[in-house]
Amino acid sequence: MKSIIRSPATKSVILICIIAVSTVGAVLAGLALTNRNLKTTSFQSGENAGQVTIYGNGITFINYQLNVTLEQDTNTIRFYLPPNALTDTLTLSGVHVVKITTSKDSHSLIEQGDVITVYTEDATYTGKFMGWNDMLLLEAKNGTVMISGDRITKIILSEVVQIQGPRILVQVTTDAAPGEYTLKLSYLMRGPKWRPTYFIDLDTSQLDCWAIIENVETWENFTLVLVSGGPHLVITGPIYFATAAYGSSQYDARVDFTPTTNDEYHEYTYSSKLSFENGTTVRLPLFNGIVTLRQEYFWANGGVQNRYHITNTLSEPLASGIAEFYRGQKWMGEDEITYTPTNAETTTIINYAEDIKVTSTNTKSVNDGHRQVQGTQITIQNYKTTSIQITVQQDINGYTLNVCTPSATRVGSTLTWQIQLDTGDRTTIDYEWEHNW
Dihedrals phi, psi of 263, to nearest 5 degrees: 55, -125
Name the maximum alpha-carbon separation found in the chain.
96
The Cα 389–Cα 269 span in angstroms is: 43
Pick the CATH number of 115-157 from 3.30.1490, 2.60.40, 1.10.3470, 2.30.30: 2.30.30
The span from the CA of 426 to the CA of 358, in Å, is 10
Element spanning 212, H or E: strand 206-214
What pLDDT is stored for residue 254 in this prediction? 36
Across all residues in the chain, what is the average pLDDT? 79
List, for residues 320-331, the tens digit of each pLDDT value. 899 999 999 999
Chosen CATH of 356-436 out of 3.30.450, 2.60.40, 1.25.40, 3.40.30: 2.60.40
The residue type found at 267 is E
For residue 15, the tally of other CB atoms under 10 A from its CB is 19
In this prediction, residue 431 has a pLDDT band, given cuts at 50, 70 and 90, of: very high
One DSSP character per residue, 101-156 reads EESSPPPPS--TT-EEEEEESS-EEEEEEEEEESEEEEEETTEEEEEEGGGEEEEE
- Report how far residue 315's alpha carbon sits from residue 313's, in angstroms, rounded to the nearest whole number: 7
Separation CA 349–CA 328 (nearest Å): 18
Q: Identify the bridge partners of residue 6 per DSSP, sorted by sequence position.
A: 91
Q: Who wins on pLDDT, 44 or 206?
A: 206
122, HSE (Cβ side, Cα atoms, 13 Å): 4
Using pLDDT thresholds of 50, 70 and 90, give the confidence band for residue 372: very high
**43-47, 86-90, 248-252: which is most confident:** 86-90
Q: Would you place residue 234 in the very low, low, confident or very high pLDDT band (cuts 50, 70, 90)?
A: low
pLDDT of 297 above 90: yes
- CA torsion sign for 259, 261, 264, 267 is negative
Paired strand residues for 305: 298, 352
**pLDDT score at 16:** 26
**In the predicted model, is pLDDT for residue 2 greater than 50?**
no
The residue that leads in pLDDT, 21 or 360, is 360
Better pLDDT: 19 or 304: 304
Domain boundaries, the chain: 5-106+165-191+216-242+255-276, 115-157, 291-352, 356-436
Calpha distance 147→150 (Å, rounded): 9
pTM over 0.95: no
pLDDT, one tens digit per residue, over 249-280 is 333 333 456 655 554 567 888 888 888 888 78
Q: Give the range with max mean pLDDT: 96-110, 153-167, 179-193, 296-310.
A: 296-310
